[in-house]
Amino acid sequence: MSRKYAVVMLCEIAEVSRAGYYKWKATEKVRKVRVEQDADLKEHILAIHRIRPYFGYKRMRTALRKEGLQVNTKKVRRLMRELGIRSVIRKKRPFAGRKPSIVFNNVLNRQFAADEARKKYVTDITYIRVVDDFIYLSVVLDLYNNETVAWEVSERNDLDLVLSTVKQLGNGDAILHSDQGFQYTTKTYANLLQEQGLTGSHSRRGNCFDNACVESFFSHLKTEKLYLEKPRDIAHARKLIAEYIEFYNTERFQKKLGDLSPVQYRESIAA
């Protein structure tokens, strides 16, 4: 508004000093740089947390420094708190009414090939950077042809995100494999799988290779789409994700599928 009104008058209305306003304006660029740096650090922290979920803020700081990122423990602790992540290891505090997590056997056991469609699924969640914040994408892939058969986006990495994704599968006799994230070890999740006739399967703790197929899909999505077009907000992110999944399913050929896309492979076999 300073183009239309005098700065002195605007400062009087806002009840701030003129000197204070100019000091704030001079530090605005510094704040923007700091926000951008924090967002970059959060991205690194999330990537490390996915592979090493048992790292607390002290070991997280060490891991960041090994990547050449010099940051103190207080800042790491603050950023982890803002992201809502913490070490999976807890001190045992017995109390009444404790409900243990439900952990399935590793039924899939890295057998990533499937002879039929809709018999073996893998699922996981990844973070998507949107300017200086993050949203979360949950997907389910069919190992028969690597087709993305269900997906959902949310601003919260919570149980509802997982449940809404799994419900898209409908009922069927199939394996659904995931890591041991807190959403996938709840009684509510186990009950939903039972209702839909799905057999739960869990990766070993902290072993990302047990779910390598879905990790590969996330890598392709980010490098081939999201890092190039950079989502502006959640609506734009959802649009970009939908475009890539459509491309991935119908056009992006894969060597293991005989240079066909997932849908082309499924339709060719059916024919």
Is residue 89 very low, low, confident or very high in pLDDT (cuts 50, 70, 90)?
low
State the average pLDDT for the chain: 88
Q: Residue 19's pLDDT band (boundaries 50, 70, 90)? A: confident
Residue 68 is encoded by which pair of tokens? 């050449």
Does residue 94 lie in a domain region?
Answer: no
The answer to whether residues 149 and 58 belong to one domain is no
pLDDT attached to residue 106: 94
For residues 187-195, give the mean pLDDT.
96
User: How many domains does the chain contain in total?
Assistant: 2
At residue 88 the predicted structure's pLDDT band, cuts being 50, 70 and 90, is: low
Q: Which domain holds residue 67?
A: 7-83
Q: Could you tell me if residue 126 is inside a domain?
A: yes
Task: Say which residue, 176 or 29, is predicted with more confidence.
Answer: 176
Q: Give per-residue pLDDT as tens, 148-188.
A: 999 999 999 999 999 999 999 999 999 999 999 889 999 99
Clarify whether residues 76 and 137 are in a common domain. Answer: no
Identify whether residues 126 and 38 lie together within a single domain.
no
The answer to whether residue 1 is domain-embedded is no
Could you give the CA distance from residue 22 to residue 31 in angstroms, rounded to a whole number?
Answer: 14
State the Cα–Cα distance between residues 26 and 20, nearest whole angstrom.
10
**Domain check: are 36 and 131 in the same one?**
no
Give the pLDDT score at 98: 45
Residue that the structure tokens 């959060």 belong to: 42
- Do 213 and 262 sit in the same domain of this protein? yes
Q: pLDDT digit string (tens) for 218-258?
A: 999 999 999 999 999 999 999 999 999 999 999 999 999 99
Same domain, 48 and 181: no
pLDDT above 90 coverage of the chain, percent:
57
Average pLDDT of the segment spanning 95-124: 84
The model's pLDDT over 92-101, given as tens digits with 9 standing for 90+, comes to 555 444 455 8
Shared-domain flag, residues 256 and 124: yes
For residues 21 and 24, what is the distance between their CA atoms, to the nearest angstrom?
A: 5
Residue 184 to residue 16: CA distance in whole angstroms: 51
Angle at 118 between CA 114 and CA 120, to 5 degrees: 45
pLDDT of residue 100: 54
Three-state SS string over 107-120 comes to CCCCCCCCCCCCCE
Q: In this structure, is residue 92 part of a structural domain? A: no
Asked if 147 contacts 121 with a C-beta cutoff of 8 angstroms, the reply is no
Whether residues 50 and 128 share a domain: the answer is no
What is the rounded CA–CA span in Å between residue 114 and residue 130?
35
Residues 263 and 162 in one domain: yes
Residue 135 covered by a domain: yes
